[in-house]
Amino acid sequence: MAVLSYREAVARGLAQEMARDSRVVLIGEDVGAAGGVFKATVGLLDQFGPSRVIDTPIAEQAIIGAAMGAAMNGMRPVAEIMFSDFFAVCWDQIANQIAKTRYMTHGQISLPLVIRTANGGGVRFGAQHSQSVENWAMMVPGLKVVAPSTPRDVVGLLAAAIRDPDPVIFFEHKSLYAVRDEVPDGEIVDELGRAVVRRQGRDATVVALAAMVPRALAAADRLAAEDGISVSVVDVRSLVPLDVSTLLDATRATGRVFTVEENPRLCGWGGEIVSILVEEAWPDLKAAPVRITTPHIPLPAADVLEDAAIPSVDRIVETIRKHVTAN
């Protein structure tokens, strides 16, 4: 079993699928010779050549448009948008064209393409390069939305996304790129729409995504050691499709739910999950679900301000401690 960084897992997942299927091509700014701005595509140009690892100008709309055209013509493109913030300049193509093509052609044209992007904060890139925008994609019918938290899941979920017959937005968290963990040898393919219970507990359930998963796990360890509070942690992994069954089971097991997300509080994905859990598991809840989010502000670049905005282990611990001991 290899120990890979999160960024190395991206390259491994891409190589796995490019070796398996000659229709898979990678397209984006600096994905070739430079190996990606976050070094997540190192080695792919040497392995697969310039006809399948294609550098582009700084033109996000051209990247997305080329990927859409390639998918329409039988390829399985993987397009890289360096920062998820830049979705804003190509949103018509993503939300109004790619997401709706299968529906508007009555199923005659499907678009098996993946858009990879670096999402989230924690690396002091400021308000235009640090947003968590998975909630933008989550609300558009026709898009699948995936956000892995571990190197192993990067490989398995990326493979599943590439093999999917419809468009998938694949959010890689930039603060996790250096994280290293064991990744099993051989082919790994996961199923989209499957959450994973990372930690079992009896007093509360924390629902988290991407970089918030390790923080939730660290908070759970502290609560167990300092307060004797036993916390389950559910890694959502896929917002669309959403594994409602696992979320409901975890909720019913403890009766208390906390969502932890980087999205600004207004219209973050935690609000949608809380709504589902309240509707479906109301008799089993011991207290109102609690959302732990960033404030509704642009994310600051200053380290002390960014740290204060994004949910920290301390804030997760304090919030759960306050509500569990009060109820």
Catalytic residues: 129
> Residue 206 phi/psi, 5° resolution?
-105, 130
Per-residue tokens: 109: 């044209």
Burial class (CB in 10 A: 0-12, 13-18, 19+), 231: buried
Contact 84, 100 (CB under 8 A): no
Alpha carbon separation from 175 to 76, 261, 313 (Å, rounded):
28, 14, 15
Q: What's the order of all strands across the beta sheet hosting 168-173?
A: 53-55, 24-28, 76-83, 114-119, 168-173, 144-146, 238-240
Per-residue tokens: 151: 């190197």
**CA-angle at 198, arms to 193 and 204, nearest 5°:** 100
Contact 233, 202 (CB under 8 A): no
CA 67, CA 72: separation in Å to the nearest integer?
9
Per-residue tokens: 153: 């899941």
Q: Which residues of 13-49 are buried (b: 16+ CB within 10 A; e: fewer)?
A: bbbbbbeeeebbbbbbbbbbeebbbbbbbbebbeebe
CA 40, CA 34: separation in Å to the nearest integer?
10
3-class DSSP state of 299? coil
CA 177, CA 171: separation in Å to the nearest integer?
12
CA 276, CA 171: separation in Å to the nearest integer?
23
